[in-house]
Structure 1
């Protein structure tokens, strides 16, 4: 289904990566950073963006000794087939966890703001069907679609935030240090999880030319950082800290705040459309990489037979995540687990660079293909 070849360009890859972060913005990010930073919540996006830039700069430099290998290839070069299988299953388990948690969150969001009379299973099924269909078309199709749709949903988000500018209150930014330096530092560490998709970036390398890695990485971080900063600022400038901490679905709450008299109403419907498109691209892309990692790790000849079983597992886990009405994306342990998306690439790429796995021949072959 997915082969190690150039499937798309740098812009498609960047759009796909930005959407992973944008999903967090649509669901919980502004409210979560307010919980940690209070009136100084806007400092957390700045801090985590700087950390992400330093993190990527280090890995991009180390990648010179790796060639065009993805994380699965690197694992095989480091420790052979057994190690490849172990890492592949670990990455698969992590991605299944991510897609399940986010599917539950997206389902709950759509149910609250639009399909409040529908059952949770029905709404979740809609996302699951879209996810399965995307798996049959492959990650290349999702990437190309995201190149067109992600700019549209980001533009819609910007329109919503521009619409509430007249109601901005600068005094909401005081006191300057908000909840204090310790709380801001803790929030910055935990909210680094919005960049969990670095693990996807280093699985995606064989799909575009390796020389575009820096372009994709830095563009992804900078665009995402600006969106994170603007979302946090917009949220705290509208809602004082005491109110902001209790506002679920932040962007929807901002959209509800827009008033254009009697001529234009129900602006919040834009946020429904944005959230739905963001969810389909997010879930479809990660599900594709779950299938890709399993196929490559286990050396499967065909991947289509495992699509439905994996989809059922994801559906079941997502349902359980919301059956007890638990906000998993707001739990500290979940935030910590999501950091695995940055830890796994860091460890593998450091070891791979030290062993210069790109000089073993496999990396050179992949380079020739690109």
Structure 2
């Protein structure tokens, strides 16, 4: 029996997986960068770059359902063996790079927020060991841990949003047109790569009950992510404004630092650092697991577990390559641009080829 074939996961596990792969960047510098580009209409940009990938996801589901088998077999039958190798290897590289860049960013921000005197490499090593253990336990353990942590994350966000309400300045949302509608639309389209993690539902389709479950997971998870992003963008803009907000490296942490209920309840950002870090580790572990899973099915290996230590060592070393956090953020932005290939181009090609194959099939039968 192939050890990498998982059980039948349901809605909760799938939503936790997608949330875990997509949401962590909301706590990094990406929000501040997007605010600088879009201005007060950041919320609209977030709606655009969350909903368009949902359409591309359904196109990918259609292509996946047109051919039986895993993603490698689907690609082989639709675009040939060479095309399948190009597509799958590209996705492997995307998920591996995503895990490595997130590992570097979370390690850097851990040093900034909590462990000021700890050596950088020690943090990377401890995170890498944790990620390896989670991957070794399998995707079900990872997803179930994710949906246990999800209520804590959402609860923490709601608490912070409500607690900073005294700092709301509604006029910070003006001018309502932000930096221009066309700028926002263009930014939304170009930021679609932030959601390429939703395609993990396609790659791990054998782990879920059926295609209907996968579609519902995508709708609920991306819809929930869109609502969360929009609320976060509106609250953040009202609290800091565009000029100040665009300068913050860690938007959520900076916003949580403003919370002051009384002299006994303050500095609550320390309570959320652990939840924030755990979510980041689950995202990195999920990215690594999906990359290794694709390697296994591409090379037709019998099991994944021997690859886990190699994968952990690889992303840990790649994470330590950038010279500083500024260059890491630049690489992250570059990866998100490359990820547009995975969220737009490949699903579009597979969808078109599935349509062509479907139209040819009746002719062949006749």
Query: How far apart in 2 are the matches of 1:304 and 1:80?
Result: 29
RMSD: 2.4
What corresponds to 1:55 in structure 2?
A: 56
Which range moves more in the overlay, 191-200 or 215-224? 191-200
Query: How far apart in 1 are the matches of 2:218 and 2:154?
Result: 18
Q: Deviations over 1:53-79 (max 9, x none)?
A: 433344445554245x44223123335
What corresponds to 2:177 in structure 1?
A: 177
Cα distance change of structure 1 residues 29 and 149 upon mapping to structure 2, 3 Å threshold: same
1:294 matched to 2:265? The reply is no
1:315 matched to 2:316? The reply is yes
What corresponds to 1:32 in structure 2?
A: 33
Question: 2:24, 2:280 within 8 Å by CA — same for their partners in 1?
Answer: yes
What corresponds to 1:262 in structure 2?
A: 263
What corresponds to 2:207 in structure 1?
A: 207
What corresponds to 2:334 in structure 1?
A: 333
What corresponds to 2:243 in structure 1?
A: 242
Query: How far apart in 1 are the matches of 2:347 and 2:118?
Result: 40
Unaligned 5+ segments in structure 2 are: 362-366
Query: How far apart in 1 are the matches of 2:331 and 2:267?
Result: 28
What corresponds to 1:227 in structure 2?
A: 228
What corresponds to 1:363 in structure 2?
A: none
What corresponds to 2:74 in structure 1?
A: 74
What corresponds to 1:351 in structure 2?
A: 353
Q: Deviations over 1:231-259 (max 9, x none)?
A: 11111010011111101110001100111
TM-score of the superposition, structure 1-length normalised?
Answer: 0.89
Q: Report the secondary structure of 1:238's partner residue.
A: helix
Question: 2:41, 2:179 within 8 Å by CA — same for their partners in 1?
Answer: yes
Query: How far apart in 2 are the matches of 1:330 and 1:17?
Result: 22
TM-score of the superposition, structure 2-length normalised?
Answer: 0.89
Q: Deviations over 1:241-295 (max 9, x none)?
A: 1111101110001100111121112111133122111112101111111211111
Question: 1:26, 1:250 within 8 Å by CA — same for their partners in 2?
Answer: yes
Q: Deviations over 1:273-327 (max 9, x none)?
A: 2211111210111111121111110111232222222222111111113546424
What corresponds to 1:104 in structure 2?
A: 104
Q: Report the secondary structure of 1:320's partner residue.
A: coil
Shift in Å at residue 349 of structure 1? 4.2
Q: Report the secondary structure of 1:240's partner residue.
A: helix
Question: 2:72, 2:84 within 8 Å by CA — same for their partners in 1?
Answer: yes
Give the number of equivalent residue pairs.
357
Query: How far apart in 2 are the matches of 1:28 and 1:103?
Result: 14
Query: How far apart in 2 are the matches of 1:311 and 1:11?
Result: 27
What corresponds to 1:365 in structure 2?
A: none
Question: 2:40, 2:173 within 8 Å by CA — same for their partners in 1?
Answer: yes
Cα distance change of structure 1 residues 15 and 129 upon mapping to structure 2, 3 Å threshold: same
What corresponds to 2:284 in structure 1?
A: 283
Cα distance change of structure 1 residues 161 and 327 upon mapping to structure 2, 3 Å threshold: farther
Unaligned 5+ segments in structure 1 are: 360-370
